A = this chain, B = another copy of it.
Amino acid sequence: MGAVTAVDRHPKQDRSRATRQRLLEAAVACLAEHGWAGSTVTVVAERAGVSRGAAQHHFRTREDLFTAAVEYVAEQRSAALRALFPDGAAARPAVVAALVDLYTGPLFRAALHLWVAAGDEEQLRPRVTELEARIGRETHRAAVDLLGADESRPGVRETVQGLLDMARGLGLANLLTDDTPRRDRVVAQWTVLLDEALG
């Protein structure tokens, strides 16, 4: 009921927000499927069913649209991860599996395309560098909380970082072929090692 009232009260703002979200989600899907070279504002607007003018009202440049899109979807993923474990620290195998999952879906593919493109494009590079650092910090914080890791103990911070590096490498291995069976075995083994290391 509350939500309905809010819609009635601010229909215009709500429509604008819904359009923005459609654009962001279409941008990530487009980046994941076609890479940076195949991702333009026009293509995304078409996919989102929004006019090009409306898209440019929300995002002035291509760089604005795609960095905002990766950030938005990363925030959604991060919120979903936290929602999976509402009581905070949880069973390690489930937490590790959920962390690794962050790097195997369309968001990772999209972020990877943006990342690789940023290596070559001067106007994209500083923004993506900053964005990746922010997403990295947030993911690390979530991992520490959910693993119940005590970072005041020596080596614990680096153990968690290494786990996230491994997850990123596993995401890369899943890019061209379905690497699920191998990944599951690697993750099961490293969960044992991680468990011993974190105590």
Contacts and interface: CB of A to CB of B under 8 A. Distances in A.
Interface centre among A35, A38, A165 (most CB of B within 10 A): A165
A112 interface: yes
B162 A186 contact: yes
A15 interface: no
Contact of A116 (B112, B129, B162): B112
Number of copies: 2
B172 A120 contact: no
Given A158-B190, A193-B193, A34 B169 contact: no
A175 B35 contact: no
Interface in A108-146: 109, 112-113, 115-120, 125, 128-129, 132
Given A35-B119, A189-B158, A170 B176 contact: no
A172 to B, nearest CB: 5
